[in-house]
Amino acid sequence: MTDQPAPAPVRLVAPVSGEVVALADVPDQVFAEEIVGPGLAIEPRSATGGTDTVVQAPVDGTIGSLYPHAFAIETDDERTVLVHLGIDTVTLRGEGFELHVASGDQVTAGQHLITWDPDAVAAAGMSTVCVVIALQGEPADVDRVAEPGQQVSRGDEIARWR
């Protein structure tokens, strides 16, 4: 029996600019209790103080599940990163979201995937927080680089998944 070397850590970058929020503070029990995996969240804000409308890939990989409000990217070593834009935004039925990729597309970290309107989401009475999850990951295997309250820009490293 040969020991397999551990896969290299997956570097997760911020898909949106804004303020890092602890998952425990996300107004959705599934995310807050890390039921689907560990991660963090970002309240979208642009450098000019408005909301950030561009959503980028947090990792290199292949687009798996893709909805206007959420997507999953599978990395080459078969780890899946989920990004969910806002809470309960599925009820908007795609209104205010524009997809720039399709399921099955190869993407690179930092690639523009979705344009959305967080202000419209907020006007509909929904949270605009963007959740980034190491789907089915173990909490001990995810090292958060960004901390709650920290401002991040799209493309900044926010976590490493070992």
> Token digits for 19?
């303020």
| Among 155, 84, 153, 85, CA closest to 119 | 85
| Among 73, 77, 70, CA closest to 58 | 73
- As annotated, the active-site residues are 84
Residue 22 to residues 32, 34, 131, 160, Cα–Cα distance (Å): 8, 11, 10, 16
Spell out the alpha helix ranges (H) of the chain. 29-32, 118-123
49 contact partners, CB below 8 Å, separation of at least 6: none
| Among 123, 146, 137, CA closest to 17 | 146
Return the number of other C-beta atoms located less than 10 Å from residue 105's C-beta.
15
